[in-house]
Structure 1
Amino acid sequence: MSDPIMLAGLTEWEWVFCGSAALLAGCVRGFAGFGLSAVAMACLVLILPPVELIPIFYVLEGAASFAMFRGGIRDADMSHVWPLAIGSFIGVPIGLMATTTVSPDISKLIAVLVILILTMLQFFRSMPAALTSKSGRYVIGTTAGIVTGLASVGGMVVALYVLASRAPATQMRAALTMFLFVGMFTSLGHMLLYGVMTETAFIRGAILIPITLAGVFLGTWAFKPAWQVHYRRFCLLLLVAICLTSLGRLAFVG
């Protein structure tokens, strides 16, 4: 085993689990435009606390955003993306403060419950009409930032907003891609300030990048505009299944 992998401090079986989760999460990201961190968090929270996973997902989301940037900048409406990104910049430190102060067991439970609640909200498209207004975008962005700091799943909040706007699937994927791309630059400073982005976290993320990108390219290849009526439901059902499995596992272990 090479030195970088040894330095990352995971067993061989944990790496197999991490790699499998990264591949699955990458497929969902390429297919739906969001859900990488949600899928990976729901899986990997069984072996690592959220405070260690959040910077790993930052690295993976960054790699995925660069891979999907061309399509995102072509199809996204940036007048929607910028207010969301500004709000996220405000919200991230609030979420990180909570994540770094609660116990690992509580943070794991919070992370999975947040993902499950957001997933169910997306099933029912539960978004107050006022929040889809121009000023409401800042509120959504701030909420996304808080959730990013808690569980690295701010993209799901923004996905809920875009779904409420009834945008076509292609535009939704593009808006989410650009939100997550801009978020790379707005979140890094906060992570460094709170000491969340460590050398170990960066190495873990870097090791998983090739596997994640393989999943992203596979998911992007599988996405067909004609399938847009089916793709959203598939991704949400997958998230629900993973969350319920993780909650059961956490309860059993606890």
Structure 2
Amino acid sequence: MPISTPEFFGQSPTGLAVVLFAAFVGGVVRGFSGFGTALVFLPIAAPYLGPFGALIGLTIMDIFGPLPNLRRAWLVVDRGDLLRLLLGCVFFMPLGLWVLTQVAPEVFQYAVSLLGLSMLVVLILGVRYHGHVGRVMVAGIGGAAGFLGGAAGLPGPAVILFYMSRPLPVDVIRATILLFLFGFDFLLLGFLTGMERVTLAASALGFVLAVPNLLGNWLGGWLFRPQHEKLYRGAAYLTIAGAALSGLPLWG
């Protein structure tokens, strides 16, 4: 009589170990670069958790990371821009989630990996937008982030690349991105709950993943030295590229 393999949160021990490792590495990258959790976590975790399981796990674990910085961010954020970003997100996130329900899991994995690689290319080449930025455009960026966040779990690239080109103080840029992504997590959880996609197992796994993710954030922040910023950014780029390439279904 064959011996059944034990499962934890619906995962085999190997699958759970890989997902926990992805949460930790994603936290480390975010700790010393300021971004990258989803770009690392989703390509590695999606083959084990599926698109919706990976989104739920990521969203829940990612809520805890910015908590210590919320008050400081709220004091300096451009609240008008933040509201416009979130409004655009609300209108277009359902469309992205609908697209996700229509495609095979392999398409989701390709989208995550290729979006991650595309963002790296843009960052490395230093491509920036230098034109006029109006209120409608800010809302449009939020809409793009909402669509990409719903369809591929990656709202960050559109907002990060857009705000990196704006002539604003660094603390305002970081606060706006941080608070937008924090709000995005709650919007996504709300829509997924309405779609009846949030399960007890996926939610419990998200809380478990928060532990290695927070440890990774702490370690990355502790390791970071401002005088070696280029070195750390290069390490982040290589890690994200490795995760994105490993997540391509063509290796399976």
Partner of 2:3: none
Give yes or no for contact 2:109–2:247 (8 Å, CA) kept in 1.
no
Counterpart of 1:252 in structure 2 is 251
Alpha-carbon distance in 2 for matches of 1:79, 1:120: 30
Per the alignment, residue 85 of structure 2 pairs with 84
Deviations 1:94-145 (A, max 9, x none): 1111111211122222222222223322333445445743321111110001
What one-letter code is carried by the residue in structure 2 that aligns with 1:56?
Answer: G
Does the aligned pair in 2 maintain the 1:35–1:156 contact within 8 Å?
A: no
- Cα 1:141/1:238, change in 2 over 3 Å: same
Do the aligned partners of residues 132 and 225 (structure 1) sit closer, same or farther apart at CA in structure 2, a change above 3 Å counting?
A: farther
- For structure 2, which runs of at least 5 residues remain unmatched after alignment? 1-5
Unaligned runs of 5+ in 1: none
RMSD: 2.4
Alignment of 1:53-72 (within 5 A): 53-72=54-73
Residue type matched to 1:252 in 2? Answer: W
Change (3 A) 1:79 1:225: farther
Change (3 A) 1:202 1:32: same
Counterpart contact for 1:29–1:219, Cα < 8 Å: yes
Paired residue type of 2:197 = V
> Is the 2:39–2:244 Cα contact (8 Å) retained in structure 1?
no
The answer to whether the 8 Å contact 1:32/1:173 transfers is: no
| Matched residue type, 2:105 | P
1:195-234 matched pairs, under 5 angstroms: 195-228=196-229, 231-234=232-235
Equivalent-residue separation in structure 1 for 2:235 and 2:90 (angstroms): 30
> More displaced, 92-101 or 191-200?
191-200
Q: State the percentage of identical aligned residues.
A: 24
Aligned length: 247
Amino acid at match of 2:251: F
Partners of 2:112 and 2:244 within 8 A in 1: no
CA distance in 1, matches of 2:70, 2:90: 20
Out of 138-147 and 164-173, give the one that drifted further.
164-173
What residue number does 2:124 align with? Answer: 123
Could you tell me how far apart the structure 1 residues matched to 2:90 and 2:233 are? 27
Partners of 1:14 and 1:184 in 2: CA distance: 24
d(CA) in 2 for partners of 1:35, 1:16: 20
Q: Secondary structure at the match of 2:65?
A: helix
| 1:150-229 alignment, distance < 5 Å | 150-165=151-166, 167=168, 170-228=171-229
Q: State the Cα distance separating 1:7 from its structure 2 match.
A: 5.6
